[in-house]
Amino acid sequence: MGSRYLTDLADVCRYAGAVVEIDGWQYRARGSGGYDSGYPNHLIVHHTASGPSSDPWGDVNYCTYGHPDAPVGNLYLSRDGTVYVIAGGAANTNGTGKDPCGLVPDDGMNSRSIAIEAANGGTGEPWPEVQQAAYRRLCAALLAAYNIGIGQLHAHFEWAPGRKIDPAGQSKYANGSAMWDMDRFRSDVANAGAPIPIPPDDEEEIMYLATLSNGDVVLVGSTVRPASGEELTGPYANLPRFTPDPSSYWHDWLRHGADEYARRVMG
């Protein structure tokens, strides 16, 4: 049983945009528990094959509690680009398959990867631009934080060809209901980088930006480094930790959505 839980996962995801933490995510895992030393070494991207009416809470509840094999995936990416953090340990969703790059044993991906379930019907439903951009940023942040190579970013259909088709659907990476062009997606992720916080005047404060679907860049939150608390690891070790303030603009943004926030704040 692995003992590595990604307890900094929510912090890493914040570099992609808005994050909602599902209670208990830090030590939620499939039966095998956390990851073994040296893992995760893969990132697997999926679509949910579910409709807009269950996005987000119907899907998030199903992934976290409702499915008999829960947790299904580590992260859920909604159509509006918000990331829901479900499990810091290994999750169920990749299942049987074969690693295209040969680093993971057959049928061994669940315990060796981070899995993202992105909300999309999978039968040609257009992927919103804001969600596609968040998917790229999220992947870039995860790869950087956990030292996973771009070559170890795979679609579920690359791991389980013939059995799975996700991610698929109308987007920058596919026409109609076709499966995504993963080489193109990987190229974009490699060039996406992680969002960079504005250097604060006061070293205890940090501001966060988000890019809206209309291309505007807006301030979505500010935070104060906790006086004490866990240190971030990896490439983000020197960056301040994000601690949401319930009265902050960040929460306004979560409640009302980025466009509504921009309308109210920017007129």
Partner 1 sequence: MIGDVDPEDAYDADDGLEDRILVLERTVADMLGSEPDPRREIRRAQALERVDRLGEVPPEYQSRVDAVRQALEDMWPDGQ
Residues at the site binding partner 1, with contacts judged by CB under 8 A: 30-32, 46-50, 59, 62-63, 67, 69, 72-73, 92-96, 105-111, 117, 121-122, 156, 162-164, 166
Minimum CB–partner distance for residue 166 and partner 1 (Å): 5
**Rounded distance between C-alpha atoms, residue 21 and residue 17, angstroms:** 13
**Rounded distance between C-alpha atoms, residue 80 and residue 55, angstroms:** 9
Residue number, 8 or 125, with CB nearest to partner 1: 125
Is residue 242 within 8 Å of residue 11, measured between CB atoms?
Answer: yes
Residue number, 39 or 250, with CB nearest to partner 1: 39
Residue among 62, 155, 72 nearest 110 (CA): 72
**Rounded distance between C-alpha atoms, residue 81 and residue 19, angstroms:** 9
Extract the runs of DSSP E, i.e. beta strands, from the chain: 19-21, 42-47, 75-77, 83-85, 113-118, 153-155, 205-211, 217-224
Is residue 47 within 8 Å of residue 168, measured between CB atoms?
Answer: yes
Give the β-pairing of 75-77 and 83-85.
Answer: antiparallel
Residue number, 8 or 117, with CB nearest to partner 1: 117
Residue whose tokens read 């998917």: 135
Residue number, 94 or 171, with CB nearest to partner 1: 94
Minimum CB–partner distance for residue 77 and partner 1 (Å): 12
Minimum CB–partner distance for residue 53 and partner 1 (Å): 12
Give the β-pairing of 42-47 and 113-118.
Answer: parallel
Residue among 136, 265, 154, 236 nearest 191 (CA): 136
Residue number, 131 or 211, with CB nearest to partner 1: 131
Residue number, 30 or 42, with CB nearest to partner 1: 30
